[in-house]
Amino acid sequence: MSILKDKNILLGITAGIAAYKSANLVRLFIKAGANVKVVMTPASKEFVTPLTLSTLSKHPVYSSFINEEDDNQIWNNHVDLGLWADLFVIAPATANTMAKMANGVCDNILLATYLSAKCPIYFAPAMDLDMYKHDSTRTSFKTLIAFGNKLIPAGTGELASGLIGEGRMAEPEEIVDFIENDILDKLPLRGKRVLITAGPTYEAIDPVRFIGNHSSGKMGFEIARAASNLGAEVTLVTGPTHQEIAHHLVTVKPVITAEEMYNEVHKHFNTSNIAILSAAVADYRPRNVADQKIKKKEITFSIELEKTKDILKSLGEIKKDQYLVGFALETNNELEHAKGKLKTKNLDLIVLNSLQDKGAGFGVSTNKVTFITSSNDVIENELKSKADVAKDLMHLILKQTHA
């Protein structure tokens, strides 16, 4: 999943031959999961048609302040367009439009929207070699950058005039990469590694039966999404689950048993900055696993169990600079038991779940948790979606670690 997923991207197109690339840029933004609207200068319609762009974006294309073909002459509100956008990308940005942007000229809907926008603005210049090198163009670059706009550098290559040199608009793939990397570089967990566990473990009785629990893994997967959306490189070690995640910063390591989870977690812990163990790991496993399916013969049947390794405690014993978070699911004396685990397992934070709370626990999309820090702060939260709980958790970790 791209960092652009669910972003509202407004694409501005000006009258340059590079406008033919804008259709592919719309397609790439859509493929990244973004919502796209297009605003054009009137002259740019000579290079690429609004019909093409509206078909690709699945939104009307705006090129004038009113819909001239509509008898009702509905006004296209440039202020609303600017406020809708999370990002405004002007590609291609011609010398003419950049000069107007730099000097506050407002003679079309694209420029009016630019002056109204509150979001980050990126511009990708496209023009011939001599125009690109001209002092007035360089002045426009400096002015626009001073305003806080982001310049996506032009490339070098064959230009429309036949000259070869600087001024060729960056390719659509390069524009998307530039924007993604620029966003990621601003995120607070950029360059940090986060280790997360999720889901249950299954401990085999025989080839067809196992001891397990009702954990769906949803909480851990939401934490992985929240961490990766803050720029972290996430390793997600998960037991058997139907949950899925597709994010280019998340690497999923599937396991089945507590022993496999123990081994996988220890592979990655030393290189992690933060470890969040939300998995519901089995506390016991059968001492002996049958090679063949156990037949139903006796009225009663006993299984001898042995303890599994305590993954969380083992990490607490070897941690150095890592920030270690555990989860506690309790049914009685919740706060007391959670504080006990916080201390005995050498944690920095523990997340307390209580099965006494309606809407919390396994198999539901909501959770009601209490955060307890190593400094004994107790932070109670109301019932929320697990996605919101994950965001709250990550924000608290950021605050605690000053990341």
For the chain, give every residue range classified as CATH 3.40.50.1950: 8-186
On the question of pLDDT at 76 being above 70, the answer is no
Please state which of the ranges 53-57, 95-99, 220-224, 326-330 shows the lowest mean pLDDT.
326-330
Residue 222, amino acid: E
Instruction: Output 333 or 340, whichever has higher pLDDT.
Output: 340
Pair of tokens at residue 5: 């997923």
Pair of tokens at residue 206: 């025989």
156 backbone dihedrals φ, ψ, rounded to 5°: -110, 135
pLDDT attached to residue 359: 61
By residue count, the chain amounts to 403
pLDDT attached to residue 66: 67
Side-chain half-sphere exposure of 128, counting CA atoms within 13 A: 6
Convert the pLDDT of each residue in 245-261 to its tens digit. 988 899 999 999 999 99
Q: How large a percentage of the chain has pLDDT more than 70?
A: 92
With CA atoms as reference, report the closest residue to 363 among 214, 200, 258, 167: 214
Question: Which overall architecture, per CATH, does domain 8-186 show?
Answer: 3-Layer(aba) Sandwich (3.40)
pTM for this prediction: 0.80
What residues contact residue 136 under an 8 Å CB cut-off, 6+ apart? 95, 99
Determine the Cα–Cα distance for residues 318 and 337; give it in Å rounded to an integer.
Answer: 23
What residues contact residue 227 under an 8 Å CB cut-off, 6+ apart? 189, 194, 196, 234, 274, 276, 394
pLDDT attached to residue 247: 85
- H helices of 269-333, where? 311-318
The pairing of beta strand 150-151 with beta strand 61-62: unpaired
- Mean pLDDT over 4-21 rounds to 95
Q: What is the DSSP letter of 180?
A: H
pLDDT attached to residue 356: 67
Q: Residue 94, by phi and psi: left (phi above 0), alpha (psi -120 to 50) or beta?
A: beta
Task: Give the catalytic positions in this structure.
Answer: 213
Please state which of the ranges 47-56, 62-71, 212-221, 247-256 shows the lowest mean pLDDT.
62-71
Q: What is the DSSP letter of 200?
A: B
Task: Please report which confidence band the pLDDT of residue 82 belongs to, taking 50, 70 and 90 as the band edges.
Answer: confident
On the question of pLDDT at 72 being above 60, the answer is no
Convert the pLDDT of each residue in 139-187 to its tens digit. 999 999 999 999 999 987 766 666 676 778 999 999 999 999 999 899 9
Q: What is the DSSP letter of 191?
A: T
Determine the Cα–Cα distance for residues 328 and 313; give it in Å rounded to an integer.
Answer: 13
- Whole-Å CA distances, 152 to 109, 180, 224, 267, 398: 22, 12, 30, 39, 31
Which CATH number is 193-401 given?
3.40.50.10300
77 backbone dihedrals φ, ψ, rounded to 5°: -80, 105
pLDDT attached to residue 360: 64
With CA atoms as reference, report the closest residue to 192 among 277, 249, 252, 266: 249
Q: Residue 12, by phi and psi: left (phi above 0), alpha (psi -120 to 50) or beta?
A: beta
Convert the pLDDT of each residue in 203-244 to its tens digit. 999 999 999 998 999 999 999 999 999 999 999 999 999 999
On the question of pLDDT at 339 being above 70, the answer is yes
Q: How large a percentage of the chain has pLDDT more than 90?
A: 77
- Mean pLDDT over 4-28 rounds to 95
Instruction: Output 374 or 76, whichever has higher pLDDT.
Output: 374
Query: Look-up: residue for tokens 């982001």?
Result: 150
With CA atoms as reference, report the closest residue to 56 among 41, 76, 34, 74: 34
Task: Please report which confidence band the pLDDT of residue 333 belongs to, taking 50, 70 and 90 as the band edges.
Answer: confident
pLDDT attached to residue 118: 93
Task: Please report which confidence band the pLDDT of residue 80 belongs to, taking 50, 70 and 90 as the band edges.
Answer: confident
- Return the beta strands (E) in 14-70 as ranges: 35-40, 61-62
For the chain, give every residue range classified as CATH 3.40.50.10300: 193-401
The average confidence (pLDDT) of the chain is 91
Task: Please report which confidence band the pLDDT of residue 327 belongs to, taking 50, 70 and 90 as the band edges.
Answer: very high
pLDDT attached to residue 192: 96
Query: Look-up: residue for tokens 């934490």?
Result: 223
CA torsion 251-257-259-260 (nearest 10°) is: -30
Helix (H, G, I), strand (E, B) or coil at 366: strand
